[in-house]
Amino acid sequence: MPAERLQKIIAAAGVASRRKAEELITSGRVLVNGQPVTQLGSKADPEQDHIRVDGKLLRAPEHFSYIVLNKPKGYVTTVSDPENRPTVMDLVQGVKGRVYPVGRLDWASEGLLLLTNDGALANSLMKAASHVPKTYVVKVAGVPDEAKLDKLRRGVSIAEKGGRRVRTAPAQIKLIREGDNPWLEVIIIEGRNRQVRKMFEEVGHHVEKIRRVQYGSLSLDVPPGEYRSLTLEEVAKLKAAAAGQKPSFDKKKTFAAKSSTFQGSSFDKNHPHRPTRFQRPARKRG
């Protein structure tokens, strides 16, 4: 786990609020590896360092891994594939411990995919009752009129595996780039198989490209094929969202993630949200 600010570690351990944790630090009541730390902004690794508050050793967190991956097109979201197609697991081989995808993005879909070995969190996030919003940018064939968009916003009947039809929950949809094949932002609170594609097919428009740019409070911020570990704060926000608490969003990050879609899957390696003119080979990040 990457080093975190001490006050975040203390707050995540449930010892005190973030503000109270800052007071504990400045008053000399926090020791890291036996040494008092009084400067705010000091960092520690909760898995490697011994942190004591008022002499009490903080309980080390469970050894869970939380990964956010920018899935490129051409990978299936499974641990293994009987057809020997590339899977998202090929992209996270450097992760310590075995992680599993939370939900799915189909072979042709791109964008933010969460992987973890925290089964309780994964199950909570995948339950429809969690209502964790997922934001996509979608390019469709043809221009859907406002009546069709309103129909999608209210919910439409789509077919699930086996032929059973279900009605989708209300969705937020808005136009973000005009054209003969426009781009739209779609926010849903469910995660049914190929849901966004099926929704647009129901109103007569084929989805040409789709990228997930936000999952709860997480925004897409790594180049295609790369991943990073979540911070303690990000994990805490996901757990809160899974428990039904309303998440807060970083509108600047969301806009940047969406804007990168208009240049295909290219990212500048120094500025992940900035599109480059040519596609660069994806790199894995440990």
- Sequence spans of domains, the chain: 4-57, 66-263
Instruction: Let me know: does 231 contact 2? Beta carbons within 8 Å.
Output: yes
b (16+ CB within 10 A) / e for 49-68:
bebebeeeebeeeeebbbbb
**What tens digit of pLDDT does each residue of 97-133 get?**
789 999 889 999 999 999 999 888 998 888 765 689 9
DSSP 113: E
Considering the domain 4-57 in this protein, what is its CATH number?
3.10.290.10
Among the four given CATH numbers 3.30.2350.10, 3.40.50.300, 3.40.50.150, 1.10.3330.10, the one describing domain 66-263: 3.30.2350.10
Closest CA to 175 of 165, 185, 188: 185
This prediction's pTM:
0.69
Whether 66-263 and 4-57 are alike in CATH topology: the answer is no
**What tens digit of pLDDT does each residue of 207-223 get?**
999 999 999 999 999 99
**What tens digit of pLDDT does each residue of 257-276 get?**
555 555 444 444 443 333 33
Q: Which residues form the catalytic set?
A: 106
